[in-house]
């Protein structure tokens, strides 16, 4: 990345920790090029001790340092940041927001700044396997977009979308997605324990099955229904299990859950 690129993170929580770790591990940025501001010194001390990055309790000081300013506070804390930072960014700086539900119009108004990128990452970013969906306001140049792409690629894969409405949809799909997957894992492991497996063994069986199925789904050109049909013999165990899942409304529950998450995302905008 550009050797003069400085990155400021506003908010020193889980997502910032994931970004900082991956940016350093991937040599996308050096520790001295990164500054983090947060509300409490303990949060900052932990980041400084672990990553040797610059830290400050002043959001303004952090923002002044960064050419890219990453906004990573919870949606409910956004108004404090706006009150603190409105009009503080220089025109050439780029704001990259990962705040769920905060749309570009609100970010521009709240920060008094035009060059805004809105992104929805997800928590597997903590192990460099996240997926970040992002879009940029018209004021963001192609060169700025390349910097954003490099930063997001450090924590996994990145998907650019032209229209902001896809960010709201991605919030319900990939942003919230790990919660659905972890619930499924939990239920699957509990069911295996119910059968009589030790929990450790159950966990291994479930995770290996999920990982193997993912690999197969990725490498195969077959539709998931076709892959499912291949393990479903007439009158067999899969057919019996799938019947119970469908009877229990599994497919509809997933569809309704993702729709509900999307509706909730739209209400967060207000």
* CA 145/CA 148 separation, integer angstroms: 5
Could you say whether residue 40 binds ligand NAP (CB under 6 A)? yes
**Looking at beta carbons only, is 73 or 202 nearer to ligand NAP?**
73
* CA 163/CA 141 separation, integer angstroms: 16
Sole window of 120-128, 155-163, 195-203, 244-252 interacting with ligand NAP (rule: CB under 6 A): 120-128
Closest CA to 97 of 197, 1, 46, 164: 164
3-state secondary structure of 235: coil
Annotate each residue in 53-72 with x if it binds ligand NAP (CB under 6 A) or - if it does not, as one string.
------x------------x
Residue 160 β-bridge partners: 134
3-state secondary structure of 29: coil
Annotate each residue in 81-110 with x if it binds ligand NAP (CB under 6 A) or - if it does not, as one string.
x----------------xxx----------
The single residue among 23, 24, 37, 116 that binds ligand NAP, judged by CB under 6 A, is 37
**Looking at beta carbons only, is 38 or 93 nearer to ligand NAP?**
38
Sole window of 34-42, 105-113, 181-189, 227-235 interacting with ligand NAP (rule: CB under 6 A): 34-42
Closest CA to 36 of 27, 21, 25: 21
The single residue among 26, 30, 39, 264 that binds ligand NAP, judged by CB under 6 A, is 39
| Distances, alpha carbon 130 to alpha carbons 18, 37, 120, 127, 152, in Å | 10, 23, 10, 8, 9
Residues engaged in binding ligand NAP (CB under 6 A): 10-16, 37-40, 43, 59, 72-75, 77, 80-81, 98-100, 120-123, 175
């Amino acid at each position: 990345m550009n050797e003069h690129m400085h990155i400021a993170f506003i908010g020193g929580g889980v997502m910032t920790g994931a970004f900082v770790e991956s940016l350093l591990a991937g040599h996308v940025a050096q520790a001295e090029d990164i500054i983090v501001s947060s509300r409490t010194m303990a949060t900052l001390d932990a980041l400084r001790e672990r990553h040797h990055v610059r830290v400050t309790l002043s959001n303004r000081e952090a923002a002044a340092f960064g050419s890219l300013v990453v906004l990573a506070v919870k949606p409910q804390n956004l108004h404090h940041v706006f009150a603190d930072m409105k009009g503080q960014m220089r025109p050439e700086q780029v704001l990259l927001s990962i705040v769920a539900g905060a749309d570009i119009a609100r970010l521009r108004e709240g920060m008094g700044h035009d060059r805004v990128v809105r992104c929805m990452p997800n928590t597997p970013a903590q192990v460099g396997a996240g997926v970040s969906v992002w879009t940029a306001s018209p004021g963001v140049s192609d060169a700025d977009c390349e910097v954003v792409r490099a930063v997001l690629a450090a924590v996994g894969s990145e998907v650019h979308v032209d229209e902001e409405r896809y960010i709201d949809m991605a919030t319900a799909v990939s942003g919230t997605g790990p919660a659905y997957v972890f619930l499924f894992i939990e239920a699957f492991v509990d069911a295996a324990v119910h059968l009589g497996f030790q929990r450790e063994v159950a966990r291994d069986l479930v995770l290996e099955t999920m990982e193997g199925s993912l690999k197969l789904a990725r490498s195969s050109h077959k539709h998931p229904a076709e892959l499912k049909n291949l393990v479903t013999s007439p009158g067999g165990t899969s057919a019996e299990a799938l019947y119970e899942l469908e009877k229990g409304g599994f497919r509809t529950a997933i569809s309704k859950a993702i729709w509900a998450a999307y509706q909730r995302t739209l209400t967060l905008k207000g």
